[in-house]
């Protein structure tokens, strides 16, 4: 259902913070075409597993999502907050479906990417 990969992450300069001595690693989770109440448990379990692996970044690839409901958006937003609270960078690549749903429901925080934060 989900695909994930782990690869080295290119270092970024962030407001004078030094990079840790270990090689930064990221994982990408490719979400299914439907992110709804039925997919939440599996997505959450995989995210929790990745958090325990000492990653420096988790990327949610939602580019192929064709359907997302409010429960799916809430779960993605909750995951973003849990990942960032653990000190891990979170990024999301989203489909038009996810973008529109987030804008209509006021969940645009979900779509704020690291690139957006660096530009602002």
**89 membership: H or E segment, kind and range:** strand 89-94
This prediction's pTM:
0.71
> d(Cα 95, Cα 57) in Å, to the nearest integer?
20
CATH no. of 30-119: 3.30.750.24
Backbone angles phi, psi at 11, to 5 degrees: -65, 145
Q: Note down pLDDT in tens along the chain; length 120 residues.
A: 445 554 444 444 333 333 333 446 888 888 999 999 999 999 899 888 888 888 899 999 999 999 999 999 999 999 999 999 999 999 888 888 998 998 898 888 777 754 454 555
> d(Cα 68, Cα 61) in Å, to the nearest integer?
14
Domain ranges in the chain are: 30-119
The dihedral through the CA atoms of 81, 82, 84, 85 has a sign that is positive
Contact 59, 29 (CB under 8 A): yes
């Amino acid at each position: 259902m989900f695909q994930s990969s782990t690869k080295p992450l290119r270092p970024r300069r962030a407001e004078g913070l030094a990079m840790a001595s270990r090689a930064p690693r990221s994982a990408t989770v490719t979400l299914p075409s439907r992110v709804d109440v039925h997919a939440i448990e599996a997505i959450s379990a995989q995210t929790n597993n990745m958090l325990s692996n000492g990653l420096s970044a988790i990327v949610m690839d939602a580019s192929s999502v064709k359907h997302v409901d409010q429960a799916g958006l809430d779960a993605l937003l909750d995951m973003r907050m849990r990942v960032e609270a653990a000190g891990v960078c979170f990024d999301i690549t989203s489909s038009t479906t996810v973008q529109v749903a987030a804008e209509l429901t006021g969940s645009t925080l979900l779509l704020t990417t690291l690139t957006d934060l660096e530009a602002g």
